Amino acid sequence: MKQTQALEILKTGVNVFLTGQAGSGKTYILNQYVKYAREKGKSVSVTATTGIAATHLNGLTIHSWSGLGVKEKLYPSDFEALLKKRHLRRNIIEADILIIDEISMLHARQLDLVNQICQAFRQNLKPFGGLQVILTGDFFQLPPVVKGEDKAEWALQAEVWSLLDMRTCYLDEQYRQDDQSLVAVLNEIRQNSLSVSGRAALLGRLNFEFEEAIFLTKLYTHNIDVDAINDHELQKLAGTAKAYRMQNKGNQTLAEILQKGCLAPARLLLKPGAKVMFVKNNFELGVVNGTVGEVVDFDEDNYPVVVTNKDEVVVARPDVWVIEEDGKIRAEIKQIPLRLAWAITVHKSQGLSLDAAEIDLSKAFTPGMGYVALSRVRSLAGLRLLGFNELALKVDENILQWDDKFRNWSDETEKWWSNLSADERKRSQEIFFQEYTDRPKKGRKKENNKEKTRKLLAQKMKVAEIAKELGLTERTIVGHIEKLLAAGENIDIEYLLPPKWEREEIITAFQDQGDDYLAPVYEILGGIYSYEILKLVRAWLRKVNHRQP
């Protein structure tokens, strides 16, 4: 199934299992749907089964969101205690949509318990108390782990799984790997049928020596202290390390949850020569989660200057990770979006796209681990294998059988969708969203934040003042302004722009470089203007020129 079709199906409000191989764009689709639903006034609870996956989506772990924590069972007294917690009541009762990412790492009992918690809070015996539920993940990847048990039941074996009556959307496009030979090997491993040519392709990467010097992140499948390896390599470099401490604000409990799931460390130590990895997408700078490079210097603000594997120079400035509810930020952490990259575990590599890696699969201890590790790499050309055992090339036979069912059910979903007329599709989406706009919830204001921004702009408030007033980030407010102007709203933002001579300098840069991308303009101006300023000038310029983005 194509991404566009899956997104349209999500908009109808049906429960969905969104799956597909690693790199098929599942997280991208989730982010697109979350953005759309929130703009339509929905309250979306974004969760994941691990802290790392949750930070990729600016969400919480499902264990924290539901109050389940580390419990494997809930007794009546546990439910009584949970129902008294106001923050859980707010999370669950006011939600319209629940997303659980990396569902393969949640075991069946936990999924059933989350369902029971939602039913109890919402006093509704429908699955998850009537929420639209979107489960996403790939069961060929890491399995659930239960303390004291050799093997836990997968989430798909939960009682509530069948009760959800989900539409399956199986994404079949590949966005991480351009190398068709690697795609073929991964697909063969997914089918437990590695061919002679596939095995030969892997054998060809054993202890491979690259003609040119290339940095390889070491990916470990077994339990090893990768932090100790990284620290040791850093200490071997000359000079004194610069330290960057993570800052947080808002709800401290939520900030701590963000910190635990963030790949950027609370205290980041860097020196020139340090091998680093970007841990957050920043398309304006041309980096993604997993881009690696080397620190070569520090700029005048003491921020690290990184030369990536593609020989692009990027200044790594602080970025933020947030937890939002109904458009308001409840917690925020701020840190340089880097981590040391000499070594990383397979578990922490989820969501990463690596240009080059050194992987030892000789100690793989569970089916699917080899698939997960190999799927982090963009191409075979960037892979050096130190070894592999047969288990590394296997997947769980039970999951293989389920995968055939998921593919068939996805085909049925496509047929169902194709049999609907354009009017029927539109109507089903309108009904789902109208259902909530006609039913305002307690404590939820009818006026959306973009409209509030428009009214505050009319009062000539500054971006920082509006952000503080609404409890949002300045970046979000600038985004509101861009959308308002693009929609043809007659608002005056000239008072927000820099002085005339600075504005003319920026306009000249846009004229020379074009205004589709901000990074070239940012670089040609020497980084003296923030991206928010550039966005405001661009939006104003487009309005003056009567041009849509």
Helix (H) or strand (E) holding 329: strand 328-335
Query: Topology of domain 449-546, per CATH?
Result: Arc Repressor Mutant, subunit A (1.10.10)
Q: What are the tens digits of pLDDT across the range 163-181?
A: 999 999 999 886 665 678 8
The predicted structure's pLDDT at residue 311: 84
Query: Topology of domain 3-174+397-435, per CATH?
Result: Rossmann fold (3.40.50)
Give me the average pLDDT of each 10-residue run along the chain (549 residues): 94 95 83 90 87 70 85 84 85 92 90 93 89 93 62 85 95 73 89 92 90 79 77 92 92 83 89 91 78 91 90 91 72 92 80 82 81 87 89 87 94 95 90 60 59 90 89 85 86 91 90 77 82 89 73
Cα 319 from Cα 282, distance rounded (Å):
9
What tokens appear for 246 in the block? 């993570």
What tokens appear for 46 in the block? 């974004």
Helix (H) or strand (E) holding 227: helix 226-235
Phi, psi of 192 (to 5 degrees): 55, 35
Cα 21 from Cα 136, distance rounded (Å):
11
Domain ranges of the chain: 3-174+397-435, 180-393, 449-546
Q: Find out whether 414 and 1 touch, Cβ atoms under 8 Å.
A: yes
Phi, psi of 482 (to 5 degrees): -60, -45
The predicted structure's pLDDT at residue 443: 46
At 245, which amino acid appears? R
Contacts of 423 (CB under 8 A, 6+ apart): none
The predicted structure's pLDDT at residue 439: 45
The predicted structure's pLDDT at residue 444: 47
Q: What is the 3-state secondary structure (H, E, C) of 121-181?
A: HHCCCCHHHHCEEEEECCCCCCCCCCCCCCCCCEHHHCHHHHHCCCEEEEECCCCCCCCHH
At 488, which amino acid appears? G
The predicted structure's pLDDT at residue 446: 46
The predicted structure's pLDDT at residue 442: 46
Could you tell me how many residues make up the chain? 549
Cα 112 from Cα 357, distance rounded (Å):
38
* pTM for the model: 0.66
Cα 250 from Cα 322, distance rounded (Å):
10
Left (φ > 0), alpha (ψ -120 to 50) or beta: where does 86 sit? Answer: alpha
